[in-house]
Amino acid sequence: MVSMFKQLRETLIRHTMRHLTSRITRVYDRAKVEDIHFDIDTAIPCGLIINELVSNSLKYAFPESKGVLTITLAAISATRYELVISDDGVGLPDDFDLDSIDSLGLQLVQGLVAEQLGGTVEFQSTRGTTWTIRF
């Protein structure tokens, strides 16, 4: 079992922000991550999903280089979990359609959620963007 999910999240965000520091100056990370233990087959897809969605937020959500990025992970039952990644940035375009997106990264997120985690992914784009993944 992988019990270092909090550390994984922190490492991914720190690594991603370091690579985007020329563009990002004041993005604050808020996390509410329960101490959840995943096996490696769950931890790896979760890490890839977090990396993709955090990278997208840092690249596109904050044109003025400031904002808040929030990640929560919680158990919603004994065997179900909810991962939420949100930002208070500019949001997605009005015509954004997750089912017809050309972005390889978001296609990867959808595939990992459905095929690796057996879950669902939803997004909301009011006052920023919120991705909710239940698995």
pLDDT given at position 105 = 93
Lowest mean pLDDT among 8-12, 60-64, 102-106, 123-127: 8-12
Contact 114, 50 (CB under 8 A): no
Helix (H) or strand (E) holding 18: helix 5-19
pLDDT given at position 64 = 79
Contact 123, 92 (CB under 8 A): yes
Domains in the chain and their CATH numbers? 5-134 (3.30.565.10)
pLDDT in tens, 29-67: 666 777 788 888 998 899 899 889 988 988 888 887 788
What would the two tokens of residue 118 be?
A: 């057996």
* Rounded Cα gap, residues 90 and 82, in angstroms: 24
pLDDT given at position 14 = 63
Contact 121, 109 (CB under 8 A): yes
What would the two tokens of residue 114 be?
A: 């459905």
pLDDT in tens, 59-101: 888 887 788 888 888 899 999 999 999 999 999 988 898 888 8
Residue 135 class from Cβ within 10 Å (0-12 exposed, 13-18 middle, 19+ buried)?
Answer: buried
The average pLDDT across 101-129 equals: 94
More reliable by pLDDT, 65 or 19: 65
Taking the alpha carbons at both ends of the chain, their separation in whole angstroms is 17
Task: Quickly list DSSP for 103-126.
Answer: -HHHHHHHHIIIIIS--EEEEE-S
The pLDDT of residue 2 is above 50: no
Rounded to two decimals, what is the model's pTM? 0.83
Closest Cα partner for 92 from 124, 62, 68, 64? Answer: 124
